[in-house]
Amino acid sequence: MLSLTQTRFIPNKARCYITDNKRLFLPLLLLISLAVPASREFTLQALSDAFFQVSVFVAATLLIYYYLIDKLPQLQRRYLRARSGILEVSFA
């Protein structure tokens, strides 16, 4: 079975565009989902849930990080950088 980029009907220039810009398919799919009235409500609900979940995760992570920095001063960046660059990267 031939794939989309192996067919003879697609010129080389278009073939390169398709393979080089695969990451454009998701935003295009989202825009189409928002434009179609039947899928608009579902798409907006999924996007808002994802945004909320990421926001809560980042807030919780920062809360834990700042609590640990307050209680354990040896986790501060200056200490980790002076101690070892690998410790700094692994803690991050």
Residue with the larger pLDDT of the pair 87 and 55 = 55
**To which H or E segment does residue 49 belong?**
helix 37-71
pTM score, whole prediction: 0.55
pLDDT class for 60, splitting at 50, 70, 90? very high
Q: Of 57-61, 63-67, 76-80, 82-86, where does the model show the most confidence?
A: 57-61
Domain limits of the chain? 1-35, 41-92
Does residue 16 carry a pLDDT above 60?
Answer: yes
Structure tokens belonging to residue 56: 């809560």
Average of pLDDT values for 39-53? 94
**To which H or E segment does residue 50 belong?**
helix 37-71
Q: What is the pLDDT of residue 91?
A: 64
Q: What is the pLDDT of residue 71?
A: 77
